Amino acid sequence: MFFIIAGGLSAIVEIGSFKIFSTYLPHFLAKETNFHGVHYPLSNIFSTCCGIITNYFLSIWFVFERGKHSKKKEFAYFMAVSFFSTLLSLGFFQIFYSFIFKDNINLIFYTLSPEMISKIAAILLVSILNYSVKKKVIFNG
């Protein structure tokens, strides 16, 4: 239950920061919307880093018990898993944005753009893997 709450809060941070980055970075970097076929690369990387840092602290404070590793090793493993997860998330985002989600979704109070829908879908897919690996490998196994 706490993993879902921590993951939800981390996702809110990641999605919110993605919205901010994807709105403002293209004003400074014209290629941010399409860098050699990669859509919003820096927005994705920066927002994912914000989500990872948030998730790390929430995980050690509320979700997992201290594992068998030292704090340094635990942090290094967490970052390695997060780096791999980031690559997966970026890949899923590109697939979703390029091929699957083409239209806005109107939620009455807010309209989700294809890039936001793609980001949310990528987060959901990767979070399942993250929980399994973090629980078994990094924390209390």
DSSP state of 111: E
* Domain ranges, residue 112: 68-140
Domain shared by 57 and 103, yes or no: no
CA distance 78 to 123: 17
Contacts of 112 (CB under 8 A, 6+ apart): 104, 105, 120
| Total domain count, the chain | 2
82 and 129 together in one domain: yes
The 10s digit of each residue's pLDDT in 91-135 is 999 999 999 999 999 998 888 999 999 999 999 998 888 878 877
- Dump pLDDT digits (tens) for 59-99: 888 877 766 777 888 888 888 888 898 899 889 999 999 99
Are 34 and 81 in the same domain? no
Q: Do 76 and 132 fall within a single domain?
A: yes
pTM of the shown model: 0.79
Computed from CA positions of residues 88, 94, 99, 104, in that sequence, does the dihedral angle turn out positive or negative? Answer: positive
Is the same domain home to 136 and 81? yes
Regarding whether 40 and 59 lie in a shared domain, the answer is yes
Distances in Å between the Cα of 69 and the Cα atoms of 77, 78, 132, 139 are: 9, 11, 17, 8
62 and 73 assigned to the same domain: no
Residues 34 and 46 in one domain: yes
Do 58 and 79 sit in the same domain of this protein?
no
Q: Do 19 and 49 sit in the same domain of this protein?
A: yes
Q: Which residues of 34-69 are buried (b: 16+ CB within 10 A; e: fewer)?
A: eeeebbbbbbbebbbebbbebbbebbbeebbeebeb
